[in-house]
Amino acid sequence: MSTTPRPDRVTLVEVGPRDGLQNEPGVVPTDIKVALIEKLAAAGLPVVEATSFVSPKWVPQMADAADVMARIARRPGVRYPVLVPNLQGLDAALTARAEEVAVFAAASESFSKRNINCTIDASLDRFAPVCEAAIAAGVRVRGYVSCVLGCPYEGDIAPAAVAHVAQRLAAMGCFEVSLGDTIGTGTPDATRRMLERVARDVPMAQLAGHFHDTYGQALANIVASLDIGVTTFDSSVAGLGGCPYAKGATGNAATEDVVYLLQGLGIATGVDLDALVDAGTWICDAIGRTNASRAGRAIAAKRARTAQAAA
C-alpha cells in the first residue's frame, strides 16, 4: 500500500440537483431546482451538476432539464454539467447551451441493462460518437462508471472490469472519470485496491470518487482515496439522492460532511460551509425531506441554540 501526501486543495462536484433530485419520489418543481442550483453555486461550489437529458419515460424527475438550464443564472467560473445517455440527449444539451456533459457507463452488465437498457460494450459504442460530437462542439465530457465497488444485481465487481470501462471512457476523450460506488457497499481497503488497479490504466489525477453513503462508508472511502492521490470528489448537499435503478441506495456523501472533513484536514475547497448548510436546510424544508448531513444538522442545531441563548 502506498500513500501520497494529501493535496492542499480538492475539487468538489456537487451532484445534489441531479443525483439527489432524480431519486425523489415526487417531481420537484423547476423553481426549486433552479433556486437550489443557484444557492449551491453561491456557496462556492465550483461544479454543480444541474440535470440530466435522459428519457423522461425512464426518469420523469429530470423531464424539465431544458427549463432548468434556461432558467439558472450561470455564475462566471462555475461549471454546470449535465448527464447525456446518447446523441439525442447531447443534441438537447447543446441546444440548452450546456458547456459540459457527462456520459455514464457501468462496470456491471446487469446494472447497465437496467439503467440504460444496453450492454456495457453497446453503451461504450454509443458514447464514442457522443464524445466526438461534444468535443467538436467545444463541450467537455466527463465519464462515469457505476458499480465500481459492488452491484445491486451481481454483487462483487472485479477492479479490472472497472479499469476496462474507465480506460475506454478516457480513450474516447473524457477529461475525468468519476468512479461510482452506486450502492455504497465499498470500504476503504476495497476502495484503495480498486483505485490502484484503475490508475494503472487511467492516471489518478484524472479520476474522481463518487461514494454513495448507504453503508456509512463514504467519508472513510474519501480519506482512503485522498491518501492515494484522488483530488476530485462528488457529493450531494444534505446527502440527497440515490439511483432509481439501484433500489435502497441512499444519497452521496453529504457535501456539508465532506467540506467539514476537508476543513479539518486543512484542505481547501473554496466552499463557504455556513452558506452550504443554509442551502441544505432550505432544500430539505422545500421538499419535506430529512437532512441526511450529520454536519449540516449539527451546525444548524448549534446555531439555533446560540440564537436562543442570545434571545
For position 19 contacting Mg ion by CB under 5 A, the verdict is yes
Inter-residue contact 85 to 54 (CB < 8 Å):
yes
Among the listed residues 108, 146, 250, 281, the single contact to ligand HMG using CB under 6 A: 146
Question: Could you tell me which stretch among 54-62, 128-136, 160-168, 184-192 binds ligand HMG (CB under 6 A)?
Answer: 54-62
Among the listed residues 180, 184, 229, 280, the single contact to ligand HMG using CB under 6 A: 180
Question: How big is the site for ligand HMG, counted in residues (CB under 6 A)?
Answer: 28
Angle at 176 between CA 116 and CA 39, to 5 degrees: 85
What's the CA gap between 187 and 101, in Å, rounded? 29
CB of 149 to Mg ion, least distance (A): 12
For position 243 contacting ligand HMG by CB under 6 A, the verdict is yes
243 is catalytic: yes
CB of 261 to ligand HMG, least distance (A): 20
Please report the sign of the dihedral spanned by the C-alpha atoms of residue 60, residue 62, residue 67, residue 71.
positive
Give the residue from 123, 184, 196, 182 showing the smallest Cα distance to 147.
Answer: 182
CB of 91 to ligand HMG, least distance (A): 8
Cell triple for 117: 437498457
Residues 6+ apart with CB under 8 A from 156: 150
Question: Could you tell me which stretch among 28-36, 68-76, 81-89, 280-288 binds ligand HMG (CB under 6 A)?
Answer: 81-89
Among the listed residues 80, 144, 233, 260, the single contact to ligand HMG using CB under 6 A: 144
Catalytic, out of 131, 174, 243, 284:
243
Inter-residue contact 173 to 215 (CB < 8 Å):
no
Catalytic residues: 243
